[in-house]
């Protein structure tokens, strides 16, 4: 067992391969259960971060689209049109992530990240951006809704 911990600390990829081999061989008593549990939890956290990052990027572009109509361009439009599709595909692949969309803390963190990114990229003071998101998850992910030609969101 000590060898397993040394491998985990030195080379996590080698450790993963070793753990997979032990599982396939049915040597469950030799498994590094504590580290396996940590890695499984980390996968979940990683997926959560990926969803939050994608949603924050989309929200930041929606804010920029709304607040700076004179700077609208094809790159903003492309992100607004295509990012919802990517988010929806991710939610279809990992349905348990859908709960994040209704988690108030997750939504607040994601909106905060979007506000920070918008403020950084536009020069608009952070406090001048809405404190709360006025769009529902359904509106945000409706890829046909944003942006409508000649219309602000």
Please check whether residue 49 lies inside any domain of the structure.
yes
Q: How many domains does the chain have?
A: 2
pTM: 0.78
Residues 110, 58: Cα–Cα separation, whole Å: 10
pLDDT value at residue 92: 95
Task: State whether 49 and 104 are in the same domain.
Answer: yes
Q: Is the dihedral of CA 109, 111, 115, 117 positive or negative?
A: positive
Instruction: Note down pLDDT in tens along the chain; length 153 residues.
Output: 556 667 888 888 899 999 999 999 999 999 999 999 998 888 888 899 999 999 999 999 999 999 999 999 999 988 998 899 999 999 999 999 999 999 999 999 999 999 999 999 999 999 999 999 988 898 888 866 666 555 454
Residues 135, 153: Cα–Cα separation, whole Å: 10
pLDDT value at residue 24: 95
Task: State whether 55 and 80 are in the same domain.
Answer: yes
pLDDT value at residue 145: 63
Domain that holds residue 74: 45-141
In 3-state terms the chain splits into helix, strand, coil percentages (rounded to 5) of 75, 0, 25
Encoded tokens for 82 = 């295509």
Q: Are 125 and 93 in contact (CB under 8 A)?
A: no
């Amino acid at each position: 067992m000590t060898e397993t911990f040394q491998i985990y600390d030195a080379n996590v990829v080698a450790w993963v391969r070793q753990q997979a081999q032990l599982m396939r061989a049915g040597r469950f008593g030799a498994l590094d259960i504590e580290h396996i549990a940590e890695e499984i939890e980390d996968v979940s956290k990683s997926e959560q971060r990926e969803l939050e990052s994608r949603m924050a990027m989309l929200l930041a572009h929606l804010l920029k689209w709304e607040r700076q109509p004179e700077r609208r361009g094809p790159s903003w439009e492309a992100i607004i049109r295509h990012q919802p599709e990517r988010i929806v595909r991710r939610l279809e692949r990992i349905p348990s992530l859908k709960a994040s969309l209704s988690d108030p803390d997750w939504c607040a963190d994601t909106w905060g990240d979007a506000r920070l990114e918008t403020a950084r990229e536009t020069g608009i003071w952070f406090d001048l951006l809405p404190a709360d998101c006025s769009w529902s998850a359904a509106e945000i992910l409706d890829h046909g809704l944003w942006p409508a030609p000649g219309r602000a969101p």
